[in-house]
Structure 1
Amino acid sequence: MSCTFEEELTAFIDGELPPSRHAEVAVHLGACAQCQSTEALLRGTLANMALLPEFVPLPNTRHQVLARVDALPPPLKERLLALLRPRVWVPALGLAAVAVLAVYPRSQQAMHEADPGALELAANLELVEDYDVVGLDSFEDMEVVTHLHELEVQ
C-alpha cells in the first residue's frame, strides 16, 4: 500500500464516501494500476464471501461462549484490586497486630536488660547528634562538653 487512495478503497466499494471524495477516488482509479488491482481484489473477496453459506449459530452457542469467558482467569488489575477489599486486609491487620503484641513485651524486656550507657545514649540521641555536628568523636569529648558549666564556675 504505497498509494494514499488505497486506504479508502473499501469505503469506496461500500459506497461510504461523500460524493465529492467518491468522485476523486473514481478519477484516481482510472490512472493508478496499483489501486485498480487492489479494488479488483476487494471486489473479488466480497463476491466470494457472498457465495458462502449463511452462518446460523446453535441455540446454546451463546451460553458456551459465555461459559468459556467466565472460565478465564481475571485480569491482573482485578486480582490486585481484590486484595484491597476489607475481607482481605482486615484479617491481615489483625494478624499484624497480634505479631506486634507478641514481639512488644519481648522488646520491653530486652530494653530492661540492655546496657545502661546505651540506654542513656538512646535517651539523649538528639544531644549526641548535635555533638556529632560539632565534630566530637569520643565519649571523653562529650563528657567534657557536658560538664563545661562546672568548668566555667571554677
Structure 2
Amino acid sequence: MSTRITVNGESRMVDAAPDTPLLYVLRNDLGLNGPKYGCGLGQCGACAAIIGGNLVRTCSMPLRDVENDHVTTLEGLGSVENPHTLQKAFIAEQAAQCGYCTSGIIMAAKVLLDRNRNPDDEDIKNALADHLCRCGTHNRVVRAVRRAAVELAR
C-alpha cells in the first residue's frame, strides 16, 4: 500500500503497510539516519522526530498516523554545509560522546526552543528528562541548549 507523507519539507510516496512504524519508513525507505532504533517502545527518545510542532517517538507511531502531517527529522534541521544553531552548539560544547541519543535530544531541544526562547537550566533538564543517554554528557548537553538559546535570541 502506498502512502504519501511529507518529511523535511518534501512530499514522498512510500510503499509500506499502514501499521509499519514510522521509524522503519524514515530509516529503511527514505534513508534518513537521524532517528535511531533504541528501545522500540517509545521510551528512550533515540527515534524522536517533530510532527506538528510536537516531539514524537517514531518507533511506536504507525505510518497511517502521519499521512497528513509534516515530519521533521534531524536532517530537516540543517546540513553539514549549513548546520542548525542547535547542531552548531552541540559541536561547540562537545555534547555528543557516542552520539546515538543525540538526534532525539536535539529534536527535543528544538521543540523546547520553539516554545521557550529563554529556557533556564531547569526548563532544559525537564524537556530532556525522557531521553536516555548513557555516556554522561548531560552537563554539556544543557550547556549546548543554553548556547543555542543565546544564539537564537540574537
TM-score range for the pair, normalised by the shorter chain length:
under 0.3
- With normalisation by structure 2, the TM-score equals 0.14
Structure 1 length as normaliser, TM-score?
0.14
Higher strand share: 2
Greater helix content:
1
* Higher RCO, 1 vs 2 (CA within 8 Å, ≥6 residues apart): 2
- Greater CA radius of gyration, 1 or 2? 1
